Amino acid sequence: MNDILSPALSESDLAFESALRPTTLADFVGQDNVSKQLGLLLKAASLQNRAPDHILLAGPPGLGKTTLAMIVASEIGSGLRITSGPTIQHAGDLAAILSSLSAGEVLFIDEIHRMARPAEELLYLAMEDFRVDVMVGKGVGASSISLDLEPFTLVGATTRSGMLPNPLRDRFGYTANLEFYGHEDLATVLVRAAKQLALAAETPAIELIASRSRGTPRVANRLLRRVRDFALVDGAGVITAEVAKKALELYEVDSLGLDRLDKQILEALIVKFQGKPVGLSTLAVAIGEEPDTIESVVEPYLLREGLIQRTSKGRQATSLAYRHLGASESS
């Protein structure tokens, strides 16, 4: 996938987003219901002088899950420990992290659905009773030691909530399902970013970038940077709609925010498979891409825009996809 439209976080994004991240729920743009619900949960915990319930943040990449975890820690005035599911491959890895947490600290586990099963099972007891049972030694001489933990709040983030086992999902006191952003919210994100970066950008340019940002703030900020670079090289002092349009055309971002990989998928469904339903693995082989990339990165946006549909027999292009690519449905 074109890196500019990928919702995955790169190293350059990390530094850029760190400078732009809101630090309070009041400053967090979009996801209004989630913000209100989180605010209520945190305020109730504060009034009762206890750690907030464990929180699960679910949704496609780039919608603000990491930012919300940081805001949770900031709002309750607590420390934040950050790790990710793929790095926790053994129960001992998780036990070491949990036993080092201070009272009230927030533990953020990104991609929690990719955590190893033994670590998941250890987490059940830790979330419920704030203790872990650790096996010491091997063979017949092995024994179990129970370690008490300080009360903490776990914030888990996942792009594949369906992959979480029910016992783990049930232990979260609150689950937030993050949705793609509307154009108005994305425009607000871009105006805020442009202001912090001291960029002169006209409103039509902001609206154009927002309309092609795939409903994702991370993509919006990345497109703003590329348009800024184009304007800088082009000698334009102000980012106008014309400058933004030329920059986005250069990076092959079309009017719906589709890039080359999106179009490859749609063309494969329409031309190669003649509009018939196609299985995920077959589609992945046809375009030379990983099935997981298609399912978790590309497909959510195409489904949301009504360009493809899932059937019991596989993926299928919709009438809107045919019209967007200028193809005839009889082909």
CATH, residue 271: 1.10.10.10
CA 205, chain centre distance (Å):
25
Contact (Cβ atoms closer than 8 angstroms) between residue 325 and residue 266: yes
Tens digit of pLDDT per residue, the chain (331 long)? 556 666 655 555 555 566 678 889 998 998 999 999 999 999 999 999 999 999 999 998 899 999 999 999 999 999 999 999 999 988 888 999 999 999 999 999 999 999 999 899 899 989 999 998 877 767 666 677 788 899 999 999 999 888 899 999 999 999 999 999 999 999 999 999 999 888 899 999 999 999 999 999 999 999 999 999 999 898 777 899 999 999 999 999 999 999 889 999 999 999 999 999 999 999 999 999 999 889 888 898 999 999 999 999 999 999 999 999 988 876 4
Alpha helices in 86-216 (DSSP H): 91-99, 117-129, 166-169, 183-196, 203-211
**Residue 330, domain member (yes or no):** no
Q: Which residues make beta-bridge pairs with 201? A: 239
Q: Exposed, middle or buried, 15 (CB in 10 Å: 0-12/13-18/19+)?
A: exposed
Rounded to a whole number, what is the largest CA-CA distance in the chain? 74
**Residue 318, domain member (yes or no):** yes
**Which of the listed residues 136, 160, 177 is the one where a domain comes to its end?**
177
The Cα–Cα gap between 130 and 162 comes to 25
For residues 112 and 43, membership in a common domain is answered with yes
**Which of the listed residues 124, 158, 177 is the one where a domain comes to its end?**
177
**Residue 103, domain member (yes or no):** yes
The Cα–Cα gap between 201 and 241 comes to 9
Q: Which two tokens stand for residue 121?
A: 């099972």
Tell me the CATH number at 50.
3.40.50.300
For residues 63 and 99, membership in a common domain is answered with yes
For residues 109 and 245, membership in a common domain is answered with no
Q: Which two tokens stand for residue 331?
A: 């082909």
Q: Is 47 helix (H, G, I), strand (E, B) or coil?
A: helix
Domain that holds residue 292: 260-325
Tell me the CATH number at 231.
1.10.8.60
**Residue 202, domain member (yes or no):** yes
Query: For the chain, what is the domain count?
Result: 3
**Residue 3, domain member (yes or no):** no
Contact (Cβ atoms closer than 8 angstroms) between residue 125 and residue 133: yes
Q: Which two tokens stand for residue 179?
A: 């949705």
The amino acid that residue 56 corresponds to is L
Catalytic positions: 65-66, 110, 159, 218
The Cα–Cα gap between 92 and 115 comes to 13
The pLDDT of residue 22 is: 87
The pLDDT of residue 187 is: 96
**Residue 133, domain member (yes or no):** yes
For residues 52 and 190, membership in a common domain is answered with no
Q: How many C-beta atoms surround the C-beta of residue 96 within 10 A?
A: 12
For residues 218 and 89, membership in a common domain is answered with no
Strands 106-110 and 308-311: unpaired
**Residue 241, domain member (yes or no):** yes
For residues 35 and 157, membership in a common domain is answered with yes
Structural element, H or E, at residue 263: helix 260-267
For residues 44 and 105, membership in a common domain is answered with yes
For residues 80 and 141, membership in a common domain is answered with yes
For residues 209 and 96, membership in a common domain is answered with no
The pLDDT of residue 240 is: 93
For residues 151 and 197, membership in a common domain is answered with no
**Residue 16, domain member (yes or no):** no
For residues 87 and 126, membership in a common domain is answered with yes
For residues 288 and 230, membership in a common domain is answered with no
SS (H, E, C) the chain: CCHHHCCCCCHHHHHHHHHHCCCCHHHCCCCHHHHHHHHHHHHHHHHCCCCCCCEEEECCCCCCHHHHHHHHHHHCCCCEEEEEHHHCCCHHHHHHHHHCCCCCCEEEEECHHHCCHHHHHHHHHHHHHCEEEEEECCHHHCEEEEEECCCCEEEEEECCHHHCCHHHHCCCCEEEECCCCCHHHHHHHHHHHHHHCCCCECHHHHHHHHHCCCCCHHHHHHHHHHHHHHHHHHCCCCECHHHHHHHHHHCCCCCCCCCHHHHHHHHHHHHHCCCCCECHHHHHHHHCCCHHHHHHHHHHHHHHCCCEEEECCEEEECHHHHHHHCCCCCC
**Which of the listed residues 129, 146, 177 is the one where a domain comes to its end?**
177
